[in-house]
């Protein structure tokens, strides 16, 4: 039993759950999976997910954070800033400062908060160029958590995410199994037992399931996924434009909105 009766998730595509589809084509993701864990043994548990793909930090803090504050749930998860820091020329320190303002506001309202570091991209060709910026942002996130009493899910330290099978073809989003393991790790950070082990080793990899194999298609991947993503963000556009959150209000898990956000994208 979790001890949480209500949970609101805010953020971008990571929290919306891209590349972890339900049978109807809508997205599940680690936050939905975490809500299922938290709801066990708590019939009154309610959950909202306000996250949308492509959202920048300023949008998350101006559009989603006030809604979460108005709901005032027992728990809010926040993953934001990743879409900002990977844009060329981004000021990582400024992004972290804006992130801290949001966390401070939630904690001042007496809400339990869990945040997420960025994963280690060392083994991911091309994306490895972002490793320094992600590392600096992560250091800020740990300091913010320390100052405000937030909990941290350290994706960087999750060795199981270093396997290519944790990542979708766009190398920006996680597979269903990646999402499942992140949900289990988050539950562990929150002190909620699951009876499952997110550290369980992956099965032996085939020759195709290696980062080396992916490196052979770097040029195609850059053209198909990375460059269009950068162009959209430099123009202030994203694939989340015109879409609505999948769970905009606090409701029991049995109430799931009709699938509307079905178009997959490379937006974070």
Q: In which element (H, E) is residue 9 found?
A: strand 6-11
Q: Answer whether residue 53 is part of any domain.
A: yes
Q: What is the pTM of this model?
A: 0.88
pLDDT confidence of residue 263: 45
Instruction: Give the total number of structural domains in the chain.
Output: 1
Q: Does residue 86 register a pLDDT over 50?
A: yes
CATH number for the domain harbouring residue 147:
3.40.50.1110
What is the CA 153 to chain-centroid distance, rounded? Answer: 11
Q: Answer whether residue 204 is part of any domain.
A: no
pLDDT confidence of residue 168: 85
CA distance readout (Å), 180 to 100, 177, 195, 200 = 27, 5, 13, 12
User: Reduced to 3 DSSP states, what percent helix, strand and coil does the chain have, rounded to the nearest 5?
Assistant: 45, 10, 45
Q: Answer whether residue 268 is part of any domain.
A: no
Q: Answer whether residue 201 is part of any domain.
A: no
Q: Does residue 157 register a pLDDT over 70?
A: yes
What is the per-residue pLDDT across 199-224, written as a single tens digit (0 to 9) for each?
999 998 765 556 545 555 666 767 77
Q: Answer whether residue 263 is part of any domain.
A: no
Q: Answer whether residue 261 is part of any domain.
A: no
% of the chain surpassing 70 pLDDT: 84
Q: Does residue 264 register a pLDDT over 50?
A: no
Cα radius of gyration rounded to whole Å, the chain:
17
Least confident of 49-53, 79-83, 133-137, 238-242: 238-242
Residue 67 belongs to domain spanning: 6-196+209-251
Q: Answer whether residue 46 is part of any domain.
A: yes
Rounded mean pLDDT, 134-156: 97
pLDDT confidence of residue 124: 67
């Amino acid at each position: 039993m979790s001890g949480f009766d209500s949970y609101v998730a805010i953020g971008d595509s990571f929290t919306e759950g891209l590349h972890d589809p339900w049978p109807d084509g809508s997205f599940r993701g680690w936050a939905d999976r975490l809500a299922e864990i938290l709801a066990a043994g708590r019939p009154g548990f309610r959950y909202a997910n306000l996250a949308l793909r492509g959202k920048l930090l300023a949008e998350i803090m101006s559009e989603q954070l006030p809604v979460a504050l108005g709901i005032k749930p027992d728990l809010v998860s926040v993953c934001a800033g990743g879409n900002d820091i990977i844009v060329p020329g981004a000021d990582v320190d400024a992004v972290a400062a804006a992130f801290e303002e949001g966390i401070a506001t939630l904690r001042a309202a007496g809400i339990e908060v869990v945040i997420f570091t960025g994963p280690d991209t060392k083994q991911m060709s091309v994306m490895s160029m972002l490793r320094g910026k992600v590392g600096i942002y992560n250091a800020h996130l740990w300091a913010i958590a320390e100052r405000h009493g937030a909990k941290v899910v350290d994706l960087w330290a999750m060795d199981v995410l270093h396997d290519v099978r944790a990542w979708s073809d766009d190398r920006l989003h996680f597979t269903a199994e990646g999402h499942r393991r992140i949900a289990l790790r988050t539950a562990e950070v929150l002190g909620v037992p699951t009876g499952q082990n997110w550290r369980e080793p992956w099965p032996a990899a085939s020759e195709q399931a290696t980062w080396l194999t992916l490196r052979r298609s770097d040029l195609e991947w850059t053209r198909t996924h990375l460059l269009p993503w950068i162009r959209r963000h430099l123009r202030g556009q994203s694939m989340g434009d015109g879409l609505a959150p999948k769970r905009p209000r606090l409701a029991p898990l049995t109430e799931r909105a009709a699938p509307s956000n079905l178009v997959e994208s490379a937006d974070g």
